[in-house]
Amino acid sequence: MRVPDFTLANMGGVAKLFSLLLLLAVAQAATTNIKNHWNGGFEAETCVPVTQELNGWTIRMIFDQDVWWVEAWVGSPTKISNREYTISSGSHQNAGDQICFNFLGHGQGDIQPIATVTIDGQSGGGNPSSGGSQAGSNPENTGGGGTGGKKNYGEALGKSILFYNAQRSGKLPPNNPIPWRGDSNVGDCVPGGWHDAGDHVKFGLPLSSAATLLSWSIVQFKDGYEKAGQLDQMYDMMKWVYDYFLLAWKSGQQKLYVQVGDGDADHKYWGRPEDMHMSRPCKFVGGNTPGADIAGGTAAAMAAGSIAYRQKDAAYADKLLEGAKSLYNFAKGHRGVFTGGAPFYASSGDADEMCEGAMWLYKATKEQSYLIDAKGYVDLGVAWSLGWDDKKVACQGLLYEITKEDQYKRAVEGYFKNWFPGGDVTYTPCGLAWRIKWGVNRFTANSAFMALLAAEMGIEPTKNRKWAVEQINYFLGDNNHDGGCFSFEIGYGSKFPKNPHHRAASCPDPPAPCTYNQLNAPGFSPHILQGALVGGPDKDDSYTDVRSDYIHNEVALDYNAGFQGALAGIVHLQAVGKMPATNNKCPC
């Protein structure tokens, strides 16, 4: 570089210019700061200065040692080689901002690699952060960070799919997208399926409930998945659970396996699912054992799945539909609730699942007998919520969609009258509809999904869409926790839970041991449970990210189902130009 001549009077300016050039040189050759390391991995942090306005960015990290994969709490990491990674985001950044984040790296041995960090397309790079947290850094991002309330619902949708993939049981496929998960419980009487929550039992009632809502989201908002670039990933994700249902239903034996594993024994184990060696007993419905709640709910999931798969794979859709038909007939002969899994997921009745099963079979076949059955099962009372134990409002909505009869419409309207402000649901200061302390986000997310479905049916579309999007916005950052812009979906944005109540995510890489000590171990969980929606805040918006707090920090299949469906619905609204104007109380 040629430096122009200066007079002695300008020497102060020369010194300043030299200092500026020196700072830029340092920035271009910055290193990360290793905060923690162990056999097989490390935790590091960096802050990258933004020197020009950016509408989306890509950070490039080049390591001096091999790193097998990277997990970052901002953006989407892409592996170029074992020594080069990029992390991209669609968020907007102003000149003078910093993009600060922690990340995990995984490799062989107790490695402490140094990485140079730059932002593609701008001069200047990153310098190591001097502290141990992200406090003071508030870059705008599409996951609820920054000004303007921008949200990337498609990104949130893709991350939710990753959560379900992290819950997989059985022998994992070659395209497994969760590198810290491996084969587990391959000797189960019914292999495959999804682990229920932070534990490893496969419970039929929440499993079928989640699968039904997720299937409904494909049927109703397929274009949302397409727009987000997630349709193939969604089909792949759902086939894992559909295959499990097909194995669990033994039509020739007239048995439906509804639980794999012992809840009490499982909850006494804290470790990797890959390392489980305990007995995993099977429980089934059949013979003299009733269980139409799970059988009817599973028939609903399979029938809805047959519709979702009809255009993609007609032969597979036929297999699901035949299974749903025979299972529904079986359920009619085994009325009553399954009690063999008590006290876990004890159902209050089976009529709602039977109604759901009948309606999805009607939608799949157009056979009037199913519609007649559904009208006999439906309860026109106002539902408390939508969840694994109560599908009342879902059945009411499905019946209204088909019949357009006012009695079903009034029931759905009554549900949202209770849920909207002025009803009997409490609201937090920042506007979250707060139904109950334990896993509050799950009930609100399910109701948001139901509101978007009701809008598609012509039930108060403007009001329902606005409310639903505002609730999802709360989850993705429109709240005041941790200074605001906090996402209750793990891995989304720059601030989110780091310590979910989840065994696998809390375990360090093998061969390091994982025991109950991990439940209260200091520091962040070694793995990011991408896409999981945690239980949620208290009614004053307060929330503590503590691994042992299963009330607020549990994750589960049924927590994410309606949330993911709502995300697909919102992307659909964006695609068709019907996105409502929102007015969140604590905008990010």
Question: Is 243 annotated in the active site?
Answer: no
SS (H, E, C) 547-584: CCCHHHHECCHHHHHHHHHHHHHHHHHHHHCCCCCCCC
Cα–Cα distance list, 583 to 374, 414, 435, 476, 550 (Å) = 38, 23, 21, 14, 31
* CA dihedral sign of residues 211, 538, 420, 354: positive
Cα–Cα distance, 214 to 210 (Å, whole number):
6
Helix (H, G, I), strand (E, B) or coil at 278: coil
Which amino acid appears at position 496 of this protein? Answer: F
Active site residue 545: yes
- DSSP letter for 429, please: T
Question: In the 8-state DSSP scheme, what is residue 492?
Answer: S
Residue 355, phi then psi, degrees to nearest 5: -65, -45
Question: Nearest-CA neighbor of 425 among 459, 406, 448?
Answer: 448
Integer Cα distance of 120 and 433 in angstroms: 41
Tell me the three state secondary structure of residue 137: coil
| 544-570 as b/e: b if 16+ CB within 10 A | ebebebbebbbbbbbbbbbbbbbbbbb
Structure tokens at 355: 């109604």
Phi first, then psi: what are they for 282, rounded to 5°?
Answer: -105, 140
Reported residue count of the chain is 588
Dihedral sign of CA atoms 83, 89, 95, 96 in order: negative
**Helices 351-365 & 368-377 angle (0-180, nearest 10):** 160
Show the CA angle centred on residue 448, arms to residues 228 and 402, nearest 5°. Answer: 90
- Token pair listed for 99: 């993009």
Residue 304 CB burial class (10 angstroms; 0-12, 13-18, ≥19): buried
How many CB atoms are located within 10 Å of the residue 532 CB? 31
Considering 293, 352, 545, 558, which one is annotated as catalytic? 545
Paired residues of 567 in beta bridges:
none
Sort residue 32 into left (φ over 0), alpha (ψ -120 to 50) or beta: beta
Tokens in use for 582? 């929102």
Contact criterion met (CB below 8 Å) for 278 and 265: yes
Phi, psi (rounded to 5 degrees) for 101: -160, 155
Maximal CA-CA distance, the chain: 101
- Cβ–Cβ contacts within 10 Å for residue 522, how many? 6
Q: Choosing from 456, 478, 541, 554, which is the catalytic residue?
A: 554
Enzyme catalytic residues: 545, 554
